[in-house]
Structure formats: C-alpha cells, structure tokens
Amino acid sequence: MIKVSIAGATGYTGIELLRLLVKHPEVEIVTLTAESHIGKNIAEVAPSLRGHFDQTLVKLSPEVARGCDVLFLALPHTTSMQNVPELLKAGCRVIDLSADYRLKSAQVYGDWYKTPHLNPEIIKEAVYGLPELHREAIRPARLVANPGCYPTGAILALAPLMTESWVDAASIVIDSKSGVSGAGRKLSQATQFCEANESVAAYGLGEHRHTPEIEQELSGLAGKGITVSFSPHLMPMTRGLLTTAYVNLTKRVSRDELHDRYAKFYEQEPFVRVHTLGQYANTSHVSGSNLCDIGVQVDVRNQRAIVTSAIDNLMKGASSQAIQNMNLMLGIAETTGLDAPPQFP
C-alpha cells in the first residue's frame, strides 16, 4: 500500500481528499495535519467522517513527509512555498493544491500574488497537474501543482480550440460561475449564508489571480502569448463550477464541425464528457465526480463559438484531480478510486 498524508486536512478540499482516499484501493492514509485544530480528532472538525477515521491532527513537519510516499498539501498559497523545499528534501512526492507552483514564471507569480516567490528554482521542476494536457509529465513528477478550479474548467473548455487556426485568440472571454465552497472554509462576510443565498455577483473582474494560470496554459497550447478576460462570479450553491467561454471564429465553422472537434479532442479522456449538440453543461450532472462535462454551440449570427464546461469545484477542480494526478504518479490506472458516478440530485 502506498502511504499518503494530507497537510491541511480540515478545509473543504482536505475533507474531500479524505472522503476519496479512504476508499482508494491502493493507498493507506498515514498522517493528517492542521494548523488550528492540532490534537483534535479529525471527526470533531469534520463530523461527516466520523467512524471512517479515528485520527488525531498533528502539525506539519518534515517528519510527516518522511513518513509517507505522497503528501497532499491543501494549504493556503504562500504557506505551501514556505514548506515545500524541506518536504521534498525529506523524500516524499508532493501534490500541492495551492497556487504556489502553478505559474512557470516567478515574476508573473510576484505580479499577481503581490509577494515574491520564495523558491523560483523549484518552480522549474513542478508540473502543472492537468492530466488532459500534461499526462506524461505528471507521471514521473516529484512536485505536481494541482490546477485551480477556475483554470481547470476554463482550460478544458478552450483547449480544443487553441490548436486550431479557426479562432481569434485575442477575443477570448471567460465568464465563470462558482459555488461558494470554492472560497474555502475560512470565515468571511461574503460567504455567510444570508449574504450568499439569493445572491449572484461578479468579483475581481479583470484582476483575479487565476487569470495568469489560464493564460499560461492556453498560450502553451496556442504556441503564442494569449491574454483573456476572466470574470468569476459567486453562485448561491455549495458545489459546482460552470464556465461559459466565448471566442470569435475567424472563419465559418458549423455546429457539427465544432462538436466534432471537441468529441475527437477528448475521445480518449476518461473524465471529459462532450455533450451532443443542443445540450449544455450543468453543474448538477457532475456533482461529487471527477467529470468535466462540455457542451458547445456556434452563435452563427456572430460567428462566435460558445463553450460551456461544468465541473465539481471540490473534485475535478481540486481534490479528485489531485488523486488523478497521484494515480498517474504511481503508475496505476488513472481512474482508480475516481469512477463513481455523480450524485444526482
């Protein structure tokens, strides 16, 4: 059995990792860490897990890393990069769910996160953990930077078009709608029930930190620098992330051609489902799963492609994608422990 540990086990992505890993046939959970609940049993902080775990939360240290083969970091950004060097040195492989190693440029990181990167040399070896794009690089990686939820939905929605000459890369608009769990478990006014319920609003327009991550990956696919307008919105629901992406087509492309392009691009992907024409992605059809649903349309009157993608932000947008990465790193079947159908309704 592979030994895995989780740093930051009491947040939503940590709890979700636990939910999945406890049923994963190839791993054994060794250590759980937490900042603010050290000494408590995980089930006190996550009562849903009661009876499934009987484990005490400890402090993160190199000792934790030495005791496991794979360490998941579900920590806030900047906290990750403070710890990763010594954790890697301790000998384990790391899957980092924070933003700290996603950007290939330390300067871009500094610009968007308003703090210098602490270990730019480690950035180089980190692999961006979106299996649909970087599967082969993930397998041998020592450090995988698990993508953000918004970038996962946006990149999967747009990837098939980036390698085409069909599109005007300067025209990309990404309008994303996220459930509240995307904001994490920490207390805030905006995520209080009475403030988030019956409320839809944009935030961080043109300034959200997931923007450079999307641009990095789309640019890599297109082979040229691409900037996008990325607009996140908060929705009154717990889970789910819908992305609506708009791209101008530089030539007439039929709905069937667009659909075929997507169907072919994702043909071999176990976790991407391309809808038949006329069907759009719906967050409620992927809840609790590692799936990404995609629905495409051509607005023929405006020669514009409109692509919708739906993921569960805590799953394909975070924890289950981290496990998909782990499976690849361990050389086991990519779908291991991840093939349960979505929960509906």
Residues within window 298-317 making contact with a copy of itself, judged by CB under 8 A: 298-302, 304, 306, 308, 310
- 257: contact with a copy of itself by CB under 8 A: no
Residues within window 173-192 making contact with a copy of itself, judged by CB under 8 A: 173, 175, 177, 179-181, 185, 187-189, 191-192
Q: Where does residue 39 rank: exposed (0-12), middle (13-18), buried (19+ CB within 10 A)? A: exposed
**CA-CA-CA-CA torsion sign (309, 311, 317, 323):** negative
CB 323 within 8 A of CB 20: yes
Cβ of residue 124: shortest distance to a copy of itself, in angstroms?
A: 26
Cβ of residue 262: shortest distance to a copy of itself, in angstroms?
A: 15
Cβ of residue 63: shortest distance to a copy of itself, in angstroms?
A: 27
What φ, ψ does residue 143 adopt, rounded to 5°?
Answer: -135, 115
**Is residue 149 flagged as an active site residue?**
yes
CA 255 to chain CA mean position, Å: 29
Residues 51-90: x where in contact with a copy of itself by CB under 8 A, - otherwise, as a string: xx--------------------------------------
CB 17 within 8 A of CB 41: no
- 196: contact with a copy of itself by CB under 8 A: yes
CA 157 to chain CA mean position, Å: 13
Region of 11-19, 99-107, 119-127, 324-332 interacting with a copy of itself (CB under 8 A): 11-19
- The kind and range of the H/E element at 30 are strand 27-33
Residue from the set 56, 219, 284, 336 that interacts with a copy of itself by CB under 8 A = 284
- 239: contact with a copy of itself by CB under 8 A: yes
| Residue 68 or 306 with smaller CB distance to a copy of itself | 306
- The kind and range of the H/E element at 319 are helix 319-330
271 torsion bin: left (phi>0), alpha (psi -120 to 50), beta (else): alpha
- 201: contact with a copy of itself by CB under 8 A: yes
Residue from the set 19, 77, 134, 210 that interacts with a copy of itself by CB under 8 A = 19
Q: Which residues are catalytic?
A: 149
